[in-house]
Amino acid sequence: DVKVTQSSRYLVKRTGEKVFLECVQDMDHENMFWYRQDPGLGLRLIYFSYDVKMKEKGDIPEGYSVSREKKERFSLILESASTNQTSMYLCASSFWNQPQHFGDGTRLSIL
Amino acid sequence: ELKVEQNPLFLSMQEGKNYTIYCNYSTTSDRLYWYRQDPGKSLESLFVLLSNGAVKQEGRLMASLDTKARLSTLHITAAVHDLSATYFCAVDPNYGGSQGNLIFGKGTKLSVKP
């Protein structure tokens, strides 16, 4: 079975902090994705990557950056956390146009 | 810009009844996915629909795709409590050349009551 592992289930940080969310997949997938999920808004794509060191902006990239130094790892970075970035963050991976496999999510609170 | 609209957003059903969730999208696409999310859990892939007229069935759920109408449906037959979850449709915006990214609908929260 595909395993997508996110480093933390719950995280509490303060405004202005630099926050790192880590995601690792074990199926050699080319594509990796970061979403945020908010009530009433569904899933919104922040960034995705289709290869090592490649990244593409999604629908809501402002305030975020990403890093993909190795194929299996995709990191989401909040450069200077703000309260409006409190959310559930979901990482996913896939082979090209195959269904995406999701991690369990990180519930991030910014105080 | 591709938009994906699901309706209804909330659905309360009685066990044993049938119902349909609709997923409309605004521009041409040839690839649509359905996912399920249980409370507090992550998303699980249910169906992939790849062509006009595609129909997939798993247990009490059946999904179909009409690319000309830009519409997918998820039909629930004889609902049971275990089907209570949030269902998302997701559309590939890259017609003819997928990059793998998807646009998700807002989800339909289904509650099946005895």
Chains A, B: CB contacts under 8 A, how many?
61
CA separation for the pair A80, B87 (Å, rounded): 33
Residues with Cβ within 8 Å of A43's Cβ and at least 6 positions away in sequence, in order, are A35, A36, A37, A90, B43, B88, B90, B104
Nearest CA in chain B to A96: B100
Q: What is the pLDDT of residue B6?
A: 97
Q: Is A40 an 8 Å CB contact of chain B?
A: yes
Q: A97 vs B31: CB contact, 8 Å cut-off?
A: yes
Please name the residues between 72 and 111 in chain A that touch chain B, using a CB distance below 8 Å: 90, 92, 94-105
Residues with Cβ within 8 Å of A40's Cβ and at least 6 positions away in sequence, in order, are B106
Q: B100 vs A99: CB contact, 8 Å cut-off?
A: no
Cβ neighbour number for residue A50 with a 10 Å cutoff: 18
Nearest CA in chain A to B38: A104
Q: What is the pLDDT of residue B30?
A: 75
Asked if A39 and A90 count as a contact pair (C-beta separation under 8 A), the reply is: no
pLDDT mean across residues, chain B: 92
**Cα–chain-centroid distance for residue A32?**
8
E strands, chain A, where?
Answer: 4-6, 10-13, 19-25, 31-38, 42-49, 56-57, 64-70, 73-78, 87-94, 101-102, 106-110
Q: What is the pLDDT of residues B22-40, one digit of tens each?
A: 999 998 887 899 999 998 8
Q: What is the pLDDT of residues A66-104, one digit of tens each?
A: 999 999 999 999 999 999 999 999 999 998 778 899 999
pLDDT tops 80 at residue B96: no
CA separation for the pair A82, B67 (Å, rounded): 41
Q: What is the pLDDT of residues A5-47, one digit of tens each?
A: 999 999 999 999 999 999 999 999 999 999 999 988 889 999 9
Q: A48 vs B100: CB contact, 8 Å cut-off?
A: yes
